[in-house]
Chains A and B, each alone.
Chain A
């Protein structure tokens, strides 16, 4: 408590963010198909369930504090940030945010692929509320931070995902906000980018700005944040020094993990699962070409993996991917729908994506299987089941036996040099 007191006195006084009894409700539609036609035919709007994503959340943040928010997926962290950013409106309760707010919810949202980096800086800057003059003044800084000097007049559709992220981040922080809201962006991009981001965040912190940080990286929360809030199913479970809250939260997570391991079969325990779960993988099934489910195959047989999903909201352009590892960890393959040009416009509700291999080239052994759904940039995992599934290839006696795969081939004996 002592630490808290001293923090409170040193960082001082009036609160920049004050949230009072905020409730937020979402409607989950059973069919996403709301249309005039339906209403005319059935005389009512689509059925829906109500879900309280935030229940009576109250807290305040003094000037200059960095507050972390931790909690499981679906606990309402993003919803809370979106309310603070005025994107969502609470159903009950009130909140005040004093000062200019910049929300880093998704980097580069609003970039237009056909426009150049330069044009997008102006466009995105003005979406974030900057005036032309302010953007002009900060232009060089933005370009320098994003390291895109040479590409600034190229359309952003030709940017790599790293370039895209850097530009998005650079524009967002150039707003020079009093309050910075950050959701999970430390989880994307490469090492260098993440370092750059956290440097910038520390820079903001040192300049006495107020920051709210949502992160899965509990280490980041521990090291950057002064205090933290633990959200659980839309309610504040704890609010204390960041270190303590993270420990509390970790304890709870570990406990649950153990319970689950005790109860469930080993299949459940296998592998790891990450993602924000707006769309979830509900089942992964291995089948033969006739659609019969099985988990043993032979080299050269047909192999179909069905990835069943359930989308809790409609998601645009998701990318489904799989990966196959040999039991010793060798990564054999990792294709995805984007690589193979299957454009899935939107998913909503339930459905299934099939990964079809006409003739499986794998040699006998045990294989681990991952399935994942990512956003179009392949940066943000919606649901990633890493090595959570296994299947086996049984020997038939006809296949090769050196190596990992059997590559279709032919041998020729050529007497003269060709």
Chain B
């Protein structure tokens, strides 16, 4: 594992360059490019707010300061979710899609999904800044527990990279994984409390401790933690965070083992 880290370190400039390439191509060098990319979450927010807060009347919970706002409630979980789903969606095809490079040049293949994830991370950072601005304007004291955001983010990053690696690997051997990912992500999205408060889920349902079961979903755990810090402006649930951290580590190790075993054969499979 140390060896891998060392090799990745050696190729860090390639990683940086691929991230840059991704962002450059995405924004087509236009200053407005980034602002365009903000429009997407903004419109999603408007649409969801209309449907879920206005039509379906899902009430946004109140925090300890008596503040409540559905758009903010939504964004605090939607942005981390988007980071996950966009990264996974773009990474899954990254190895097969770069077959032309892989068949011709040696470099650690995990750089491809990782670079896409990091490009999305930068996007996520920028979106977070905008979210902070909104929260500040609305008077949320989100800065109180802001340092906790770092471990949460770090754990999400580990989880996302691990998943991106695993799915990009699977797609080399089963080309339809790329198509399944869209469906999986859609189901996963609704299983994660992004558009609804987790508290709306019954604690028990026909004897099943449904809330506890759903908390096993690492994206649920992460969404709850992000919301704790940013929306409720309180301490996140540390046991939940610990669980997610361990799970992310396991995912990453599985990804590492899969790559170690199969990466040398990618050039003939893609």
**Does B174 lie at the interface of the complex (its beta carbon under 8 Å from any beta carbon of A)?**
yes
| Chain B residue contacts of A311, Cβ below 8 A | none
A89 touches B264 (CB 8 A): yes
A36 touches B174 (CB 8 A): yes
For the complex, give the distance between the alpha carbons of A395 and B58 in Å. Answer: 83
**Does A196 lie at the interface of the complex (its beta carbon under 8 Å from any beta carbon of B)?**
no
For the complex, give the distance between the alpha carbons of A86 and B11 in Å. Answer: 15
**Does B43 lie at the interface of the complex (its beta carbon under 8 Å from any beta carbon of A)?**
no
A127 touches B14 (CB 8 A): yes
B175 touches A85 (CB 8 A): no
B107 touches A109 (CB 8 A): no
Complex interface bits, B95-111 against A, C-beta within 8 A gives 1, otherwise 0: 00001111111110000
For the complex, give the distance between the alpha carbons of A108 and B268 in Å. Answer: 20
B18 touches A106 (CB 8 A): no
**Does B65 lie at the interface of the complex (its beta carbon under 8 Å from any beta carbon of A)?**
no
Q: How far is the CB of A133 from chain B (nearest CB, A)?
A: 9
| Chain A residue contacts of B18, Cβ below 8 A | 123
Question: Which of B17, B102, B176, B268 is within 8 Å of A36, CB to CB?
Answer: B176
B21 touches A115 (CB 8 A): yes
Q: How far is the CB of B119 from chain A (nearest CB, A)?
A: 14
Complex interface bits, B259-270 against A, C-beta within 8 A gives 1, otherwise 0: 000001101100
A82 touches B267 (CB 8 A): yes
| Chain A residue contacts of B105, Cβ below 8 A | 85, 87, 103, 105, 109-110, 127-128
A103 touches B106 (CB 8 A): yes
Contact A36-B177, Cβ < 8 Å, known A115-B25, A123-B21? yes
Complex interface bits, A161-199 against B, C-beta within 8 A gives 1, otherwise 0: 000000000000000000000000000000000000000
B265 touches A89 (CB 8 A): yes
A112 touches B21 (CB 8 A): yes
| Chain B residue contacts of A123, Cβ below 8 A | 17-18, 21
A34 touches B101 (CB 8 A): no
Chain A residues touching B, range: 20 to 34
Q: How far is the CB of A46 from chain B (nearest CB, A)?
A: 10
For the complex, give the distance between the alpha carbons of A86 and B265 in Å. Answer: 11
**Does A119 lie at the interface of the complex (its beta carbon under 8 Å from any beta carbon of B)?**
yes
| Chain B residue contacts of A112, Cβ below 8 A | 21, 25
**Does B13 lie at the interface of the complex (its beta carbon under 8 Å from any beta carbon of A)?**
yes
**Does A247 lie at the interface of the complex (its beta carbon under 8 Å from any beta carbon of B)?**
no
| Chain B residue contacts of A26, Cβ below 8 A | 268
For the complex, give the distance between the alpha carbons of A380 and B62 in Å. Answer: 66
Q: How far is the CB of A111 from chain B (nearest CB, A)?
A: 10
For the complex, give the distance between the alpha carbons of A114 and B25 in Å. Answer: 7
Q: Which A1-44 residues sit within 8 Å CB-CB of chain B?
A: 26-27, 33-37, 39
B175 touches A33 (CB 8 A): yes
Complex interface bits, B35-72 against A, C-beta within 8 A gives 1, otherwise 0: 00000000000000000000000000000000000000
Complex interface bits, A222-254 against B, C-beta within 8 A gives 1, otherwise 0: 000000000000000000000000000000000
| Chain B residue contacts of A115, Cβ below 8 A | 21, 24-25
B175 touches A35 (CB 8 A): yes
A106 touches B104 (CB 8 A): yes
**Does A327 lie at the interface of the complex (its beta carbon under 8 Å from any beta carbon of B)?**
no
Q: How far is the CB of A108 from chain B (nearest CB, A)?
A: 10
| Chain B residue contacts of A35, Cβ below 8 A | 174-176
| Chain A residue contacts of B21, Cβ below 8 A | 112, 115, 119, 123
Give the nearest-CB partner of B25 in chain A: A114
| Chain A residue contacts of B13, Cβ below 8 A | 126, 130-132
B24 touches A110 (CB 8 A): no
**Does B173 lie at the interface of the complex (its beta carbon under 8 Å from any beta carbon of A)?**
yes
Give the nearest-CB partner of B176 in chain A: A35
Question: Which of A33, A127, A129, A130 is within 8 Å of B101, CB to CB?
Answer: A127
Contact A86-B101, Cβ < 8 Å, known A123-B17, A132-B13? no
Give the nearest-CB partner of B102 in chain A: A87
| Chain B residue contacts of A33, Cβ below 8 A | 175
**Does A379 lie at the interface of the complex (its beta carbon under 8 Å from any beta carbon of B)?**
no
Complex interface bits, B176-204 against A, C-beta within 8 A gives 1, otherwise 0: 11001000000000000000000000000
B174 touches A34 (CB 8 A): yes
B99 touches A88 (CB 8 A): no
| Chain B residue contacts of A119, Cβ below 8 A | 21, 24
For the complex, give the distance between the alpha carbons of A391 and B33 in Å. Answer: 56
A316 touches B100 (CB 8 A): yes
For the complex, give the distance between the alpha carbons of A34 and B102 in Å. Answer: 19
| Chain B residue contacts of A34, Cβ below 8 A | 173-175
| Chain A residue contacts of B25, Cβ below 8 A | 112, 114-115
| Chain B residue contacts of A130, Cβ below 8 A | 13
Give the nearest-CB partner of A113 in chain B: B25
| Chain B residue contacts of A128, Cβ below 8 A | 105
Give the nearest-CB partner of A53 in chain B: B268
For the complex, give the distance between the alpha carbons of A316 and B16 in Å. Answer: 27
| Chain A residue contacts of B177, Cβ below 8 A | 36
B107 touches A316 (CB 8 A): no
| Chain A residue contacts of B11, Cβ below 8 A | 126, 129
**Does A303 lie at the interface of the complex (its beta carbon under 8 Å from any beta carbon of B)?**
no
A126 touches B175 (CB 8 A): no
For the complex, give the distance between the alpha carbons of A106 and B13 in Å. Answer: 22
Q: How far is the CB of B192 from chain A (nearest CB, A)?
A: 24
| Chain A residue contacts of B99, Cβ below 8 A | 316
A36 touches B180 (CB 8 A): yes
Give the nearest-CB partner of A105 in chain B: B104
B101 touches A109 (CB 8 A): yes
A109 touches B100 (CB 8 A): yes
- A39-B174, A87-B105, A88-B264 provided; 5 other pairs, C-beta below 8 A? A85-B105, A87-B102, A89-B264, A110-B104, A126-B16
What are 11 A-B interface contacts by the 8 Å CB criterion?
Answer: A34-B173, A34-B175, A36-B177, A82-B267, A109-B100, A109-B105, A110-B104, A123-B17, A127-B14, A127-B101, A129-B10
Residues of chain B at the chain A interface (Cβ within 8 Å): 10-11, 13-14, 16-18, 21, 24-25, 28, 99-107, 173-177, 180, 264-265, 267-268
Residues of chain A at the chain B interface (Cβ within 8 Å): 26-27, 33-37, 39, 82, 85-89, 103, 105-106, 109-110, 112, 114-115, 119, 122-123, 126-132, 316
Cβ-closest 8 pairs across A and B: A89-B264, A109-B104, A35-B176, A126-B14, A86-B106, A36-B174, A126-B17, A126-B13
